[in-house]
Amino acid sequence: MAKPREDKRKPIPPGGPSLLAAHPPEPAPPPRHVYRWDLDKTYLKTEFDSLKDLLRSALEGAEAKQAVPGASALLRELRATGGTRICFISGSPRQMRRVLTKKLKLDGVEFDEFILKPNLRNMLTGRFRAMREQVGYKLPALLAGRAGLSAETRETCFGDDAEADCFIYSLYADVIAGSVPRPLLEEILYRANVYEDDAQRAVTLADALPAAGAAVDRIFINLDRRSPVARFERYGARVVPVFNYFQAALVLCEDGNLSAPSVVRVALEMVDRFGYSLDALRNSLQDLLRRGRLKRATAVMLGGELTEEGIPQLGSLPGARELLLSFAARVRELGELPAATLPPDGAIDYLAALEADLPRKRR
């Protein structure tokens, strides 16, 4: 007689098999603040004015690419504040993802989202205008990135003065605030010569988003081409043109998004790795004060942080420490400056801005 086969199955505990299943992971909490960055001329020192520049940029490795001074330090400090989401959106082709992500890793920059342009697909489908056009590419990508975020999530955008970043970020901010009516958005996209399907996607995404109020706190424009700051006054005080990321860090500190020690670490990287001088730092700070973009109290508070104990030791050269201490002494001696007039914060005339800032794109 055959021996009965032993049942090796584990008994099901009381309550049924559901207790055996692993607990699903807790959903990540929504970000408190989203930082959206352009890449070329905003994070990377990239030239693309000629075919030779484009080829060199496409072929160079991650180690050869250079970050804009202070950009990597600023991103690391923003990440360290917690509750943040770092998103890159670039006009570079998707084929460069590997080398670009490697460059960010080499710089110690963590990110949550990296959007690159489908230029190969644009070329193969005959959408040649889309290879250089930015409004129809970036605006829908930004709106899609906003989907799912709470109305309380704040945003800060970083761009440059080489193309249309200020126009696009400002339009994005007003669209999610609910202050751009659909007919006006359609007219803007038509005049910007956006492909019809891209325009329809942008309008559909805008319609689906609940109004978030003034969710975009700041739009920083890196003046890579040294554009006059008056060029950006039509966009209001939300837009802050900066000549370097020490200036951006100072404004973020005043807004409460960075601590004074974080600003010190950004300044230290710019001095230590990029050779910024005492005059450059002092002029940068005084430029913000003259433009009314920084309060004297914030500058004095920073000067109080720049002490022997307040300057990080790691990675700093003795010369850099001495320069920052000398800079702090100059800051503490600052006198009062005449009151500056900020750009008005009224409604932006986007059709006029389109004619001024995107002349090659309009129909």
Give the mean pLDDT of the chain: 86
Which range, 19-23, 129-133, 188-192, 316-320, is most confident? Answer: 188-192
Long-range contacts, stretch 349-353, CB < 8 angstroms, 24+ apart: 349/234, 350/167, 350/170, 350/171, 350/180, 350/184, 350/188, 351/187, 351/188, 351/191, 352/234, 353/167, 353/170, 353/234, 353/235
In three-state secondary structure terms, 305 is: helix
CATH of 30-242, one of 3.40.1000, 3.40.50, 3.30.70, 1.10.10: 3.40.50
The kind and range of the H/E element at 242 are strand 239-242
* pLDDT at residue number 311: 78
> For the segment 208-251, what is each residue's pLDDT rounded down to a tens digit?
999 888 999 999 999 999 999 999 999 999 999 999 999 999 99
Average pLDDT score over residue span 12-32: 62
Using an 8 Å Cβ cutoff, are 197 and 302 in contact? no
Residue 359 to residue 363: CA distance in whole angstroms: 9
> For the segment 120-179, what is each residue's pLDDT rounded down to a tens digit?
666 666 665 656 778 999 999 999 999 989 999 999 999 999 889 999 999 999 999 999
Phi-psi region of 47 (alpha: psi -120 to 50; beta: other; left: phi over 0): beta
* pLDDT at residue number 19: 45
* pLDDT at residue number 51: 53
Residues of the chain with CATH 3.40.50: 30-242
Average pLDDT score over residue span 241-269: 95
Structure tokens at 264: 């010190």
Structure tokens at 45: 């020192």
Average pLDDT score over residue span 263-280: 91
Residue 168 to residue 354: CA distance in whole angstroms: 10
Which pTM does this prediction carry? Answer: 0.86
Residue 251 to residue 153: CA distance in whole angstroms: 19
* pLDDT at residue number 20: 45
Question: Is pLDDT of 304 > 60?
Answer: yes
Cβ neighbour number for residue 204 with a 10 Å cutoff: 11
Phi-psi region of 54 (alpha: psi -120 to 50; beta: other; left: phi over 0): alpha
